[in-house]
Structure 1
Amino acid sequence: MLAGPLRVLAAARWPDGPEGELPAIAGFVESAFSPLVAEVAERCLRARYGAPPAVGAPRTALLLASPSGDTGTADALARATAAGQRVAPLLFFQSNPNAVLGHVAARWQVDGPVVALGPGFPDGPELHERAALLIEDGDAEQVLLITAVQGPPDRATAVLLAP
């Protein structure tokens, strides 16, 4: 059992000012969801570790929650299907939100569990409790908790939590 609430080691958000375009990610197309998740994770991890990889980071879980999921990919799949067009294979790959979490884990060389929660996910305090469970169970020593909502406007937050 954890002795107290988790503390925030680093935090980031999108947007955090007059933002431009989200940086593109090779292998992710049509939707801003994965770039949104990757950018906010990148900002948070950079605040704690500098440039990737996260040298010396303890076992880190990635926990993503999104009340809407990846609506951009869902819309692209629906458009292609309605038009009788072939669906791009990359859309199937990126329709699983764990795909972008895998991208973040590989880039930063973090090795904890990857968990994605979709519509109906719990609120802030419950998400912190879920992060705490990953630590209490011994699956991770810290958790990168990301929330993402496709807009307009697109917005996301990331906090790196530890006991």
Structure 2
Amino acid sequence: YYLLVLAGLPQKFISKLMTIWWRHDLFGAKWTLLAKAYSIVRGSRQKEDAPLAEFFAICAPMVGVVPPAEYLQRNGWQLGPPDADSQDGMPTLTRIFVPTITSFPAHFATTTLSVDDLVNECYRVGYVTARTQAAPAASNQGSLT
């Protein structure tokens, strides 16, 4: 989802930067919700039949995930050029401030949506279609715990 922010960087840098971001992310529960919903809608379909980018375009705004264009600013990150003595050319990542949940607008801070809500929306908008049965419910798919 946030690859757009790091477009043009080599994968080794993207991995390092995203690991740092993930470690400091305040919204891990939202990512868990999205992962479970995607797992359900993808089901036994092929990846090309349930593109992840399209899923995020539908569901990430629903649960209030910070959009890529706002991610760095809202989370206090600044991405800069590599240090002069950098051996590998890794961009610098500086934390200007450390946000708290209360520093985010309400629509980013919390969500009241469930996995079922996300799955149902995916069916409603035609992202996936039920084959011969009704859309599966999260409660039928097992627990994350």
TM range (shorter): under 0.3
Q: Normalised by the size of structure 2, how large is the TM-score?
A: 0.26
Determine which structure has the larger strand proportion and give its number: 1
Greater relative contact order (Cα < 8 A, sep 6+): 1
Q: Normalised by the size of structure 1, how large is the TM-score?
A: 0.25
